[in-house]
Amino acid sequence: MRHTRTGVVTALIAAALASCSTITVSTDYDRKANFASYSTFELRSDESMKNRLMRERIEVALVRELQGKGLTRAAGRADLWVSAHVRMSNEKQIDTTRFGYGWGRWGYWGGGTAVTTVRKVPVGTLVVDLVDAGRKELVWQGVASDAIDPGASAAERDKAVAAMIAKMFKDYPPAAR
């Protein structure tokens, strides 16, 4: 019985950790745009995205998400043009670990040591623009950033991109004002 409880607790903790995400998302939109009038979209290729595999991964996730929001993919005469841009950067991560004693019960200061490590963490930022095709004006923009695991498998990258885009479009279309 004890092993069963330990297994359940371990599984719950693992599930909780797996659901944690470092994805940060922000969106902005034109308050005058009538999002109810948009029913079709067309993907516009961004030549700045040199990695074909990542471009295709993003496109598949975008199509799935937009179709899930009720939009239909159309070539030529779409209401919205969808363009995705990727930016890569490195951010510094500083970690300090302390070992030893501090102020004690009797007011003494004990010895100790601290180790600080600085490392660069690769971060990918995905920007998705929705442009009103008729007016040729930006009506919605989503920006999502996440740390990149260089050792991730193709399946893990598919999942990470899908999660990033799903989080970005969580509140799409914006509520009418």
Q: Is 15 part of any domain?
A: no
Gap between the Cα atoms of 115 and 56, Å rounded: 42
Domain that holds residue 64: 21-168
CA angle in degrees (0–180, nearest 5) for 92-98-100: 170
Read off the pLDDT of each residue in 77-91 and give the average, rounded to a whole number. 83
For residue 21, what are the CA distances in angstroms to 51, 90, 93, 157? 24, 18, 17, 14
At 96, which CATH number? 3.30.160.670
Return the structure tokens found at 21.
């995400």
Interval 49-62 mean pLDDT? 88
What is the model's pLDDT at position 42?
96
Number of domains in the chain: 1
Q: Is the pLDDT of residue 49 over 90?
A: no
- Would you say residue 14 lies in a domain? no
How far, CA to CA in Å, does 113 sit from each of 39, 108, 119?
61, 16, 20
Name which of 157, 147, 164, 23 is nearest 84 in CA terms. Answer: 164
Q: Mean pLDDT across the stretch 54-73? A: 95
Residue 1: inside a domain: no
- The larger pLDDT score, comparing residue 62 to residue 148, is at 62
Determine how many CB atoms are found less than 10 A away from the CB of residue 139. 24
What's the gap between Cα 142 and its chain centre?
10
pLDDT at residue number 18: 39
Q: Report how far apart, in Å, the C-alpha atoms of 59 and of each of 5, 14, 79, 102, 142 are.
A: 43, 30, 18, 54, 15
Q: State both tokens at 28.
A: 């902005």
Residue 169: helix, strand or coil by DSSP?
A: coil
What pLDDT score does 159 carry? Answer: 93
User: Is residue 110's pLDDT more than 60?
Assistant: no
Q: 32 or 102: whose pLDDT is higher?
A: 32
DSSP label at 73? E
Is 5 within a domain? no
The more confidently predicted of residues 143 and 114 is 143
**Within a domain: residue 164?**
yes
pLDDT at 173 over 70: yes
Residue 9 maps to a domain: no
CB atoms within 10 A of CB 175: 6
pLDDT tens across 4-21, in order? 444 433 333 333 333 445
- If you average pLDDT over every residue of the chain, what do you get? 78
Which pTM value belongs to this model? 0.70
